[in-house]
Amino acid sequence: MSKTNKNSVLVVDDESANIVALSQILESDYTVFAVKNGQTAVKVAEQQLPDLILLDIIMPEMDGYDVIAELKRSEITRNIPVIFITGLSNAADEEKGLSLGATDYISKPFSHAIVKLRVSNQINSINLMRLIIEKETAEKSSRHRSEFLSRMSHEMRTPMNAIMGMASLAKSAADTEKRDNMLEIINSASEQLLQLINDVLDVSDIEDNKFRLSCSEFSFSKMISGILDKVGYDAKKKQQSLNAEIDPAIPAALVGDEKRLAQVILNLLSNAIKFSHEHESIQINAFVRDTFEETITLQIEVIDNGIGMTAAQREKLFIPFEQADGGTDREYGGAGLGLTIANHIAELMGGGLIVESELGKGSTFTLTIKAQAKEHVTQSDSPIDLAGKRLLLVDDAEINREIVLAILEDTRLHISCAENGREALEMFSSDPTQYDAILMDVNMPVMDGVEATRRIRALDAPEGAQVPIIAMTANVLASYVEGYLAAGMNAHIGKPIDFDELLKKLNNVLLP
């Protein structure tokens, strides 16, 4: 019998007459499973997970005491309440059953009213407990969601207010120096808002098990230098000293995900600066901890003597949307996502992230990752030369086209523009040989970029199948990216467009 929405009871008795009698008493109110021996009872209990078990004591081969002992040993069935049904009236037998975990007794011969009352009392207790647990879970979830939405609202509004306020003031600012300062604030706030959005998208990919690394060759020392340049301004504002000690034994070139590794280290350093007071020091150390053939294990430490954490605060540190505590959240800000992502990246890189901290005495974050080592950097540092290449830029928003044109102004690319997918398809179809690549927005009216790509790939011309198409999109979740690639796009770049990343993407598709 399959389980329904009704509460379920498993009846175990070797006498058919007893099974029939109990089933007739209970089946109008409950789903009843019935078996005639202990071995089958254990299997059915694990498969059906009944809400209650009525268990005879005296049975051949495996008696009721053996059955309840087996049920209590299993993680799956140990919490199912058991009522013994028995003709035994000895107090010692009752004591033995209760000591093994039985919740009640029903004596033979059965009284219809007593059976119904004892079963209903147990079932009502079970249902009440479930309601309490569900209510507490729902309240906790609702409270957690409310706190998260409140925090996210604050975290998004803060940089947005700065952007809108400074933009308004910059319009009327006559002093060039003041206007430049306002633009710097706008840029900083924009980067803060973008990082928040990226963090939310990363956590979504992690929860969907679609977060992936992308490996390439990079210079570790050059990466660290770039990170220090980014955080140096914040450290300087708080008059903090920022020191780095990089092991010269670290190979000149590593193969790994430079962008994600930089994301982790940047997060750790930014936190160290944020949670340290003025005039304090932040230290980053990086060294080779282990080497096995061409794989090295790097250890990177970020040390501060800031506010530190309690043991309880450390336990919540890598939980999404959590921070050390509400007071820390209000004073220092943050959505509580960065360390969750950092920890996940570290694990994907074959290492981990641990923290040692004491309240009032600072924190040390230790990151370990594995990477392939190379003796020399083979990638050329020479400028990317795209001169003479022909690009079709497709975006319905004029401001977006202007931004991309400005970014690519000095590349000497020949750039044509289309305002939607249909126009791009018509321009490409008229002469498929005239474009070396297409930079295609995804979301557009008339015809979106995905549909335009499908139609270009379906053209009866070899160029339609071969022309590289790069998706421009604000939807960088892995599930969306998979769709772009499935439609025939070769790569994607997130909005807002980053100059260096765009050049690399174009270089990869135009100069294979």
Domains, in order of start, for the chain: 8-110 (3.40.50.2300), 147-207 (1.10.287.130), 216-374 (3.30.565.10), 390-510 (3.40.50.2300)
Confidence (pLDDT) at 141: 64
pLDDT of residue 330: 44
The pLDDT value given to residue 148: 65
Q: Is 47 exposed, middle or buried (0-12, 13-18, 19+ CB in 10 A)?
A: exposed
Residue labelled with tokens 């398809």: 425
Query: Residue 478 corresponds to which tokens in the numbers above?
Result: 């892995």
Residues 6+ apart with CB under 8 A from 159: 189, 190, 192, 193, 196
Residue-level length of the chain: 512
Q: Which residues of the chain have pLDDT under 70?
A: 1-4, 89, 140-155, 320-336, 375-384, 511-512
Cα(72)–Cα(201) distance, integer angstroms: 43
Relative to beta strand 295-304, strand 352-357 is: unpaired
The pTM (predicted TM-score) of the whole model is 0.54
d(CA 88, CA 90): 6
**CB–CB of 30/119 below 8 Å?**
yes
